[in-house]
Amino acid sequence: MAAIGRFQKSNDCFYAKVVDGEVFRLQGDVFGTPSFDRKPTPLRGVRTLVPVNPTKVIAVGLNYADHARETGKPLPKTPLFWLKSPASILPDGGKIEIPFAEHRTDYEAELAIIIGRKCRNVTPAAASRYILGYTTAQDITDRTIQAAESQWARAKSFDTFTPLGPYVETKIDAQSLGIQLFQNGQLRQNSNTSQMIFPCFNLVSFISTNLTLMPGDVILTGTPSGIGPIKSGDRLEVRIQGMAPLVNTVK
């Protein structure tokens, strides 16, 4: 497998491999050993969905030292994570909705880990065997609510607050990837996943010691510095090296 997407045509939802803009329908279990049609599916009427349907979305905070500094918070000694509502997931091309116009709401570009196998208490050395791949994401945040509450789930779990996709890249090394966010064409965030305090394999290991991870679960790995507010009409584009860009607008 390489780039895997989830699509809908009429009432039919299906996974497919994406090659040069064409989609080849998957046969079997995407989390097992699937095969793919040799002929592409005609694209007329095909809509791109979020790439997975997770049981949970796990967000990791303050995982880039420069972002911790810009927020004025100390570096965590162990990964800081919380759960986001799966209902907050938004596909590529979807519109981010700001629930409270008077609140500050921010973009946060992130690399997302997609779990491929049920795992519990795995070591960092074994973590790669439980990862299906990686995709592009955002962790949209209502800063006004975040500042007012001691936990962050509500501030980050509104509907549309987790743009995700468009595809899962299954053959990529996530240790050193450029990560950027453009707001209306202007570069706002520009870093590299090598700057993570806790790398991807360590995150999977740590989280799996606290709860069971299931196929399709999403781990958001944190955002670098450069966060900023969004407003209606904005166009946000997240680019991660080797992946299809994630583009969303704001209303």
Average pLDDT, integer, range 70-91 = 93
Structurally, the chain folds into a number of domains equal to 2
Q: Which of 12, 27, 48 is the last residue of a domain?
A: 48
The span from the CA of 159 to the CA of 162, in Å, is: 8
Whether 69 shows a pLDDT value over 90: the answer reads no
Q: Which of 15, 31, 48 is the last residue of a domain?
A: 48
Residue 115 phi, psi (nearest 5): -75, 140
Q: What is the pLDDT of residue 54?
A: 98
106/154 same-domain check: yes
Alpha helix (H) residue ranges in the chain: 65-71, 143-148, 153-156, 200-208
Q: How far is CA 173 from the centre of its chain?
A: 16
Average pLDDT, the chain: 96
Q: What is the pLDDT of residue 73?
A: 83
38/63 same-domain check: no
36/93 same-domain check: no
Domain range for 127: 57-250
According to DSSP, the residues that pair with 78 across neighbouring strands are: none
Check which CATH number belongs to the domain holding 164 and give it: 3.90.850.10
Q: What is the pLDDT of residue 145?
A: 98
Given a contact cutoff of 8 angstroms between Cβ atoms, the answer to whether 14 and 6 are in contact is yes
94/144 same-domain check: yes
Residue type, 12: D
113/15 same-domain check: no
Average pLDDT, integer, range 144-158 = 95
Q: What is the pLDDT of residue 77?
A: 94
pLDDT, tens only, 31-68: 999 999 999 999 999 999 999 999 999 999 999 988 98
Residue 32 phi, psi (nearest 5): -115, -125
Q: What is the pLDDT of residue 1?
A: 63
pLDDT, tens only, 164-183: 999 999 999 999 999 999 99
The span from the CA of 51 to the CA of 215, in Å, is: 12
* Helices and strands in the chain, H and E counts: 4, 21
75/20 same-domain check: no
Q: What is the pLDDT of residue 89?
A: 98
Whether 215 shows a pLDDT value over 80: the answer reads yes
21/75 same-domain check: no
Q: What is the pLDDT of residue 160?
A: 98
91/44 same-domain check: no
Please state whether beta strands 105-107 and 228-229 pair in parallel, antiparallel, or not at all (unpaired): antiparallel
**Which of 63-77, 171-185, 196-210 shows the lowest mean pLDDT across its residues?**
63-77
Given a contact cutoff of 8 angstroms between Cβ atoms, the answer to whether 204 and 212 are in contact is no
124/231 same-domain check: yes
Q: How far is CA 181 from CA 37, 91, 184, 229, 240, in A?
A: 35, 17, 10, 13, 9
Q: What proportion of the chain, given as a percentage, has pLDDT over 70?
A: 100
24/69 same-domain check: no
Q: How far is CA 189 from CA 53, 62, 155, 210, in A?
A: 28, 15, 21, 31
166/202 same-domain check: yes
The span from the CA of 112 to the CA of 89, in Å, is: 12
33/77 same-domain check: no
Q: What is the pLDDT of residue 70?
A: 86
SS3 149: coil
